[in-house]
């Protein structure tokens, strides 16, 4: 039996977050229904995920494969959609392609190749986001994209990825540097949106509309800059 006594708190937090999403969308002239919320539950128990499900939150983001597989197994009877949002280690691609609805952290050509190969083996088209480092921070993953005058150098590899037959490219993903001030994240969200538009001009046949950006501390700013997917953890399920 999975027990958890924080169901009411999650319900309250979810309602508050949804209200903030609605207000940020309204300020931006956007439809809140176009903005997807993924609950980030790394280092949280299966009971927390169960409580999320009971409050109408079905999209779950995980960063660590072994932890995610445990929860996927124990919660198999729940209608949940699992999203891989963490760094993908070599050799883990098979389990990721088999168990996750979407992957948000395709950060290099080798990962894309491996996921495409595994998805083909499982006879599926795997939806993915391409991750870019738009800040220049060494701790961030993704294709190097912080210098706009270097974007041309990305095109050859990205064209290969976009044309992999077993991957469905849904858009771009990034993480802004940590700051207590949400406004500090705005330039990085603007840059990812500009990169998306730049790539679309080069690959007008590709679906690059999605922007997976914005977390607990800066999701309202991300919405104002065009985010279509929010990855919210601590504001919803509490700190790790």
Q: What pLDDT, on a 0 to 100 scale, did the predictor assign at position 5?
A: 63
Task: For the chain, give the percent of residues with pLDDT over 70.
Answer: 98
User: Residue 130 pairs with which residues in a beta bridge?
Assistant: 106, 172
pLDDT in tens, 21-69: 999 999 999 999 999 999 999 999 999 999 999 999 999 999 999 999 9
Q: Spell out the domains of the chain, with CATH numbers in brackets.
A: 7-237 (3.20.20.10)
* Cβ count within 10 A of residue 239: 8
pLDDT greater than 50 at residue 172: yes
| pLDDT band, very low/low/confident/very high, at 1 (cuts 50, 70, 90) | very low
Over residues 217-224, the mean pLDDT reads: 98
Q: What is the pTM of this model?
A: 0.95
Question: Could you tell me what percentage of the chain is helix, strand and coil, using 3-state DSSP and rounding each to the nearest 5?
Answer: 45, 20, 35
104-124 pLDDT, tens digit per residue, is 999 999 999 999 999 999 999
The two three-digit tokens of residue 2, written as one number:
């999975």
Residue 2 has a pLDDT of 53
């Amino acid at each position: 039996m999975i027990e958890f006594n924080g169901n009411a708190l999650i319900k309250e937090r979810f309602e508050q977050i949804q209200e903030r999403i609605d207000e940020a969308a309204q300020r931006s002239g956007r439809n809140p229904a176009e903005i997807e919320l993924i609950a980030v539950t790394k280092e949280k128990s299966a009971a927390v995920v169960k409580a999320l499900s009971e409050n109408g939150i079905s999209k779950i983001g995980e960063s660590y494969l072994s932890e995610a597989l445990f929860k996927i197994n124990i919660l198999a009877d729940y209608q949940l959609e699992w999203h891989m949002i963490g760094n993908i280690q070599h050799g883990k691609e098979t389990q990721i392609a088999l168990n996750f609805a979407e992957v948000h952290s395709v950060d290099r050509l080798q990962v894309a190749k491996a996921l495409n190969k595994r998805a083909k083996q499982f006879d599926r088209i795997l939806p993915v986001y391409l991750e870019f480092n738009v800040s220049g921070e060494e701790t961030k993953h993704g294709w190097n994209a912080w210098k706009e005058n270097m974007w041309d150098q990305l095109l050859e590899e990205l064209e290969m990825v976009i044309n992999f037959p077993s991957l469905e490219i849904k858009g771009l993903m990034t993480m802004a540097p940590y700051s207590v001030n949400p406004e500090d994240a705005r330039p990085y969200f603007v840059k990812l949106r500009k990169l998306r538009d730049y790539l679309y001009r080069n690959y007008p046949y590709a679906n690059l509309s999605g922007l997976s950006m914005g977390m607990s501390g800066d999701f309202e700013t991300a919405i104002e800059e065009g985010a279509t997917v929010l990855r919210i953890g601590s504001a919803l399920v509490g700190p790790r």
